[in-house]
Every structure is written in C-alpha cells, then in structure tokens.
Amino acid sequence: MTGLADCNNFFVSCERVANPALEGCPVIVMSNNDGCVVARSNEAKRMGIKMGQPVFEIRDLIESGQLTAISGNHKLYKEISVQVHDILRKYAPATIDYSIDESFLDMRGIPVSVLQDIGEHIVADCRDSVGIPVTVGFAATKTLAKVITDVCKKRGDAVGVLYDNNEVSSLLSALPIQELWGVGRRMSKKMYVDGIHTVWDFAQRDKVWVKSRYGINGERSWLELHGVGCITLSRIGRMQESISESRTFPTDTDDYAYIEAQVAQYAVHCSQRLREMSGLCHELTVALNTNRFRTEQGYLAPQISATFDKPVNDAVNIKRAAIAALQRIYNPGMQYKRAMVVLTDIIPSEDYTPPLFEFDDEPFTLHSNKSNT
C-alpha cells in the first residue's frame, strides 16, 4: 500500500502557526510579487476566492477588512515543512517528499488493518507537535492514494483507506476526469471529445486504446487506477500549477511601448522559471488593469489567453505570445496601473514527445477571457 500525507491549506496553516489570531478568519497568501492568490483558507474558499486569482480583482475585500492578504514567507513554510516531513518518517518505512506540503508514504508490508490507526496518529502528531492540519490517504497506488486523500478533504475526513473494489468504482464514477492526478485542462478537453467524463469512464477503456490515444503517461494513469503501481518515485517532481509575474507601474500610463517592454520582461522571467523546473506550458495569459480609483475612465481589467499548439518553455515563443496577447487587449488612451503574465497547464518536459510532422502555421491561438469592469 501507498500513503499520501497532504497538509491542508499549507501556506495559510503556516501563517496561522505564526499568528494564531488568523484562526477562523478568511485568509489568502499571495505569490512572491503579490500578483495572485497561491493559498486560501477554507473561509476564503467559501467567499468564492479562486486559486490563482489576480489580487487586484479582490482588492476591495482586502481593503475593507473582509479578507486578510499575506505576502508569502517561504522561509517559514520550508522550516515547517521540514518538521512535518520529519514526523512522517516516524510512521512509514520510507517516504518521498513530493512537494513542500505533500509526501508519499511507502507502506509495503504494513497490514491494511492498521493503516487507519497509523493515519490518525500522523494527523494527531502533526497537529499537536507542529500545529499543521494534515489529511492522510492510503491505497494500492500513488494515483489512488491521491484520489482518496482528495475525497477525504472534501468530506472533512482526516484519514481514508481505499482498498475495497466497490468503493474504488464508486469514487471513480463520481470523480470528474479533470480532477485525476496528471490530467490538465488541455487533456481533459481531449477526453471529453472521446466521451470520457469521469475517471471511471477512463478506467473502463481498453488499455491498448488508451496508450495509442494518450501515450505512455495515459497508460501509466490507467494502470495505476487498476492497482498497478508504475509511477516511480524518481518521476515524482511536482510541477507548479502556474507561474506568474506582475508589477504595479510607478505611475499610471498609456505608453504602449513601456507596457510592452514590461510584459515582455515578465514573459522572459516566467519562461526562465519554467525551464528551471524542467517544465513546458500549454497556455499563457496576459492581464492589464486600470486604477480603480480613477473614476473618470472607469475600472477595466481585460485579460486574454494564448494556447500553444505544442507545449513550450523558450523565451522567444512565450514572449511572442505575450506581446500578441497584449496587443489584443491594449486600449489606446486608457491609463493602466498594472500588468501580469501567467503560465498555466504546465507539464514535465520529459512527458512530451514532439510529433514527427508539424504543419501548423501559427504556434498559438488567442482566445478572449471575461473582463472585469
């Protein structure tokens, strides 16, 4: 059996360890440049705050005191992460740190009958020793452990053990395919076309067909859902869900050349961070916003996305797409206060196999997003 220990709302939980007065309050943690939301308390989630949401969209809530916004303190998060991982090693024969807030637990040789008790001890130890709430799930493979852990979070359960075949089929039947570990938005759209709407739909397809349609990674996911562990620990290097950079301009400006230079710089910086994590992105979003306090022109927050025909991480293509997106949403004469570039739908470079023949004339397609006014 394999376990997964996942810290709940980790960055927010760390901030509450440092400042207990935040307990019970709606709290978000912002990205390094304070551009977007990277963690939310349950109270903030109930307010409708979305992961990755630009901070300027919720500035009114912050300024009115309804929502507490905190700049990320990654030194604190790392220190607490080390303490949590040290606790986990007391309960599992072997562990692998999947990310700063998640660890897989190798429970081979441990009787299934005692896993619930072990999970409860882990939860209590992390809470009492460090102050961090943790959810623990056990199953036959890493993918199924991820499924039961996510289900437990939604139910409000601290521990789950998934080993009964009837329960597996029931959970997978209720799980939308886009929530399967490793399936991004782009892949889920392809699956919808193939009539695959739930994880159970995917699991019921023929293995040979799955491999021919979705490649080796699709086959690995299919096998894991059938209880065959094939995602090795060496392959677990979690990709960030998004990479972003944004800045508030020194003064409001309608100077297109200046704004373009800033957006180009953000795009290059994001591409560098993407390459450093050995990732590729399928999508880029550029957003602008005006000063909400300049009532004479009204508040605008246009944004537009570019979907790449094949995943990229080079500065040339990412910069080109960012500038093309900016040109589409820039409105001459408007005074802009801030710009942002976001890379999403990120996959590991090693998981992409380029096609033998390519005939596309354009490397990306622009599609408008809803603007805030």
Nearest Cα to 334, choosing from 372, 299, 285? Answer: 299
**Mean pLDDT, residues 180-205 taken together:** 89
Cα separations (Å) of 337 from 30, 189, 256, 259, 293?
Answer: 19, 35, 12, 10, 11
Percent of the chain with pLDDT over 90: 56
Edge-to-edge strand order for the sheet containing 27-30? 37-40, 27-30, 68-71
How do residues 307-323 score in pLDDT, each as one tens digit? 998 889 999 999 999 99
User: What CATH number should be reported for the domain holding residue 225?
Assistant: 1.10.150.20
Q: Are residues 334 and 217 in the same domain?
A: no
Using the 3D structure, point to which of 213, 234, 255 is the last residue of a domain. Answer: 234
Contacts for 315 with CB less than 8 Å, ≥ 6 apart = 267, 268, 271, 272
User: What CATH number should be reported for the domain holding residue 46?
Assistant: 3.40.1170.60
Question: How much of the chain is in helix, strand and coil states, percent to nearest 5?
Answer: 45, 25, 30
Which pLDDT belongs to residue 279? 86
β-pairing verdict for 94-99 and 303-312: unpaired
Name which of 236-240, 265-269, 311-315 the model is least confident about: 236-240
User: In this structure, is residue 158 part of a structural domain?
Assistant: yes
User: In this structure, is residue 1 part of a structural domain?
Assistant: no
Percent of the chain with pLDDT over 70: 92
Q: Are residues 107 and 174 in the same domain?
A: yes
Which pLDDT belongs to residue 351? 65
Which pLDDT belongs to residue 170? 92
In the predicted model, is pLDDT for residue 117 greater than 50?
yes
Which pLDDT belongs to residue 111? 93
Q: Please report where in the chains the tokens 């960030």 appear, as a residue.
A: 240
Domain extent at residue 63? 7-75
Q: Give the Cα separation of 298 and 300 in Å (integer).
A: 7
Q: What angle do CA 244, 239, 59 make, to 5 degrees?
A: 30
Which pLDDT belongs to residue 232? 67
User: In this structure, is residue 106 part of a structural domain?
Assistant: yes
Cα Rg, the chain, nearest whole Å: 22
Nearest Cα to 51, choosing from 85, 10, 82, 16? Answer: 10
**Mean pLDDT, residues 282-298 taken together:** 85
